[in-house]
Amino acid sequence: MKAIVIHAAQDLRIEERPVDAPVAGQVAIEMQAGGICGSDLHYYQHGGFGPIRLREPMVLGHEVAGIIRELGAGVTGLEIGQLVAISPSRPCNSCEYCLLGQQNHCLNMRFYGSAMPFPHIQGAFQQQLIADAEQCVPADGLTAGEAAMGEPLAVSLHAVRQVGDLVGKTVLVTGCGPIGILTIMAARRAGAGTVIATDLSDFTLQKAAQAGADAVHNMAKEPEALSRFGAAKGSIDVQFECSGAASALSGGVAVLRPGATLVQLGLGGDMQVPMQSLTAKEIILRGSFRFHPEFAIAVGMMQKGLIDVKPLITHSLPLDAALTAFELASDREVAIKAQINFQG
């Protein structure tokens, strides 16, 4: 079978990999769709991000959906021919964090397509995948492309959970890539009263407005656009920082009201934090990393029509055009979510 393998920065290859068979508790999946994530792009463009670097070839990909072709012994609740969204989160369920219900902090996590541990955890951008049955969430009624959006939507749902009550709150979302836009949708579902979105791309901001943002600002063209929210110590209740850019974080802190919450999702390496302002305004800084139970919730919300991700899937290219797909995904003036069609 074919797989998409990163060897080093700018060295992406389509390679043949062996096909395995499922054992007890596993299923064999014929991959249908896979979304190119920001972390995939970091590996492709830079060979990693922050201190996390590639040290061996690695199959990329963790936003995937496919059709079950074989069931291992003892698997129940799934059927051959069924479309499933596949959670890349594979915690050990036995370490101290798993036992506390914090599986996203598992000490032995095997998250698809991750160079954090060594040997690296191989990803899911391959024509056939062996997965644990518990990773698979039935995606009846969805397209494969929609089902593959379960992972980024789960990231956004997990971030919104960090805040608690959002009803009637004024929310700022900085960075309108897929995670930022999905966070807008999730915040709206959680009752946010007003949502302001910022980015450096008119294209992504147009999508953000369509997703429910009340106001959008291109900070490259309107660098002072947020200043009106900074009067009387600030008027923003919650900031979801999805860009990983220090300027977006500090710009948000300037307009957050005392006691506000800042949720950091974007991963762009270490950054300077305006600690004096955070302290003086008693701002709550929360990190948000990955997800676990939110994955099945995300798929269910899409199935119920509560969140429509279809407008975010701007490109779908065949496996043999993977390099083109990665280049498209890197261009924020034309793409939100580029996906690989493994059967195209």
Looking at the fold, whether 135 and 238 belong to one and the same domain comes out as no
Looking at the fold, whether 47 and 180 belong to one and the same domain comes out as no
* 166 contact partners, CB below 8 Å, separation of at least 6: 160, 187, 190, 191, 192, 238
Look at residues 293, 227, 216, 215 and name the one whose alpha carbon lies nearest to residue 254. 227
| 304 occurs within a structural domain | no
**Interval 160-199: pLDDT, tens:** 999 999 999 999 999 999 999 999 999 999 999 999 999 9
| 318 occurs within a structural domain | yes
Looking at the fold, whether 8 and 121 belong to one and the same domain comes out as yes
**Interval 47-81: pLDDT, tens:** 998 888 999 999 999 999 999 999 999 999 999 99
| 319 occurs within a structural domain | yes
Looking up residue 12, the CATH number of its domain turns out to be 3.90.180.10
CB 38 within 8 A of CB 179: yes
**Interval 118-133: pLDDT, tens:** 999 999 999 999 999 9
94-104 average pLDDT score? 97
Domain end among 287, 317, 332: 287
310-337 average pLDDT score? 97
Structural domain containing residue 29: 2-149+309-341
pLDDT at position 49: 86
pLDDT at position 73: 97
**Interval 193-207: pLDDT, tens:** 999 999 999 999 999
Dist CA 134 CA 79 (whole Å): 13
